[in-house]
Structure 1
Amino acid sequence: MTQTRQTFAAGSRLFSPARLGRLDLPNRLVMAPLTRNRAGADGVPGELMATHYAQRATAGLIIAEATTPNAVGQTYPHIPGIHTAAQAAGWQRVTRAVRDAGGRMFLQLQHGGRIGHPDTSGHVPLAPSAVPLPEPLHTSAGLQDPVTPRAMTEEDIRSTIADFARAARNAVAAGFEGVEVHAANGLLLHQFLAPNTNLRTDAWGGSVEGRIRFAVEVVRAVGEAVGPERVGVRISPGVEVNGIEEPDLEELYPALLAALAELEPVYLHVEYADQERPGFAMLRRAWPGTLIANPKLSREEAAADGGAARGERLLAEGADLVALGRAFIANPDFVERARTGAPLNELRPEFLMHVHGAEGYNDYPALVPALV
């Protein structure tokens, strides 16, 4: 175990209440969405996931892991979905457990685009253009080379937008307070934004206006389906993951944020948010609503306090809420540990992804044994 190096005054903003749309949050620490591959092979969440999230219900807000709005959008094996009745029923068990423990949840909606494989989803992946992922990916048959995705037709685009809206309705019916549209990390919406993955010459590509259109239309449809006060959006400007290249950040993201702001989603969630990172201050100035900052932590920061001190600085620099991931993985009661400076559990990274079961998932001890 690693001892935290900082305790916080009673007046720390990290532990002060906040308002998010219609939600009252008891603190400003958000559990970030974290892919853990613990759903069933059919994408149905089970008791493992209900226990996991209920253990972490003291977070101000939980954003549940990336969940697919349709079958073709599945990225990796054992990723949950929200497009079948069984999947929705599984998530309802999760949200009930979290609510009974006093928590609040959004669900992240993620379509993998070119990050997918027929051995996992049963479908050739869809993407803006027929540009394959530049690296192997995990499939139901193990690590494999990627397949070339099929470029989406106009009908594919329209039906996918409708699938996002339907998934949002399913999520709210399953007990989630809202949904987060995933437009980051090289997934489908991000693939439309980036010129190296979007080679289209029609109205869904080419110019910045064309490349932001799909993300904007997804957010519009989801907001119309469940209300904009139930919709968040996650972005990762300049994060070169999954082969994404964004040479026109300074033009792309102001245009995207201006278009999204007109739709009035309840929050913007920025990955790797940092005052030192180029563009963070611009994003804060450009975004009129609630901003959730998800910092990239050094190993030393993560070991010291799980990111609490960095979170405090981000709040001072303009963020409204702070999302942390690995701290909540290893510490079901991270909020209390951060507030008091209690020791943190040591993360076991070998159990993060592409494994199954409770080990490294639900067996991290709390300071006081959990009642779930």
Structure 2
Amino acid sequence: MSVDPVMGTHPAAPMVEAKPTPAIRVRHLWHRFGRFDVLRDVSFDVAHGEIFGFIGPNGAGKTTTIRVMSTLLEPLAGRVEIDGYDVTIDPVAVRRIIGYMPDHAGVYDRVTVREYLEFFADAYRVPTAGTSYAVVDAVMELTDLTKLRDKLVATMSKGMKQRLQLARTLLHDPKVLILDEPASDLDPRARIEIRDLLVELRGLGKTIFLSSHILTELADVCTSVAILERGRLVVSGPISEIARRLQHAAPPQAAVAAPFAGAPAGATAAPAPAIAPAPAPQLPTHTVKLRVLAPGEAAAAALAGMPHVLRVGPGPGQTVLVTYTGNEQTVAYIVRALVMANVPVAGVEPERNELERIFLEVTKGEVQ
């Protein structure tokens, strides 16, 4: 209770917790080139500390959105804020916060790696003590470029040049990284190295906005996504939440048993073990990859008729793919059922195709 000198004793007003300001807020964004609407009423939020995937086919409007976010293009209508700063009203403050890496940006070839980074450290007005560029040293160490410090940029591979550009964006310690197709045209090893570096940067507290039309390079790292098609936002949010919404909107599925090569003719499925949980048709659908030390048909027989299990089929190598409804507890029941049926389980791994499934379900394959 609180006491007011005029009104006397009265209950204290309830405390209302304010929502944190998102790292990126986009509201009703429109843009047009001539008579052509490139962006049409796009709205989404990116929370602090996320790796946010911005997905869409070529020409969907991804780069236009990024150029607006990076203060390089004024929107026709709508509002974009970076950490609370409006990109149109206060672009200078926004530029201090972001690190922008455009698609296919060039680098200066006739300088060394260290000279390149020192030049941009001066351009960013990064504080230095005399000729000591401690920030440059720290960024080279973070991006694994220290051993290449004296190497001419012209002699570097495409992957190393991409890593150098990412190092440049980190010199002024930005809170938000905006990366347009950072793994474009890279070989598999360079893609993996860039991906691992992004995960490390997120661990350092960076928010990463990552544009791409290659789903495989986003599925393993993104915490949330937004999917754009023909300039319109189709869906946005955490991948698991989107998958759950789609599952609730989809009609119920019947269980399917996929054939295994070499399955004996007339083989019958074993009855479902009594330990299986009760059905819950509204739970989201997932696929788990199991490495079993037995023929695949033995695993299929052990899981046949088990509640929650929708499909059992062969996977790559000596693996079995099990599609099920539920959560991690369901996976535990599946593994236990296999072990009780004398099917040894050597490994359990989620099948990472959720993002591809979402993309195919929510888009129509249309281009502008």
TM-score normalised by L of structure 2: 0.32
Say which structure, 1 or 2, has more relative contact order (CA 8 Å, 6+ apart): 1
Choose 1 or 2 for highest CA Rg: 2
Question: When you count strand as a share of all residues, which structure comes out higher?
Answer: 2
TM-score when normalising by structure 1? 0.32
More helix by share: 1
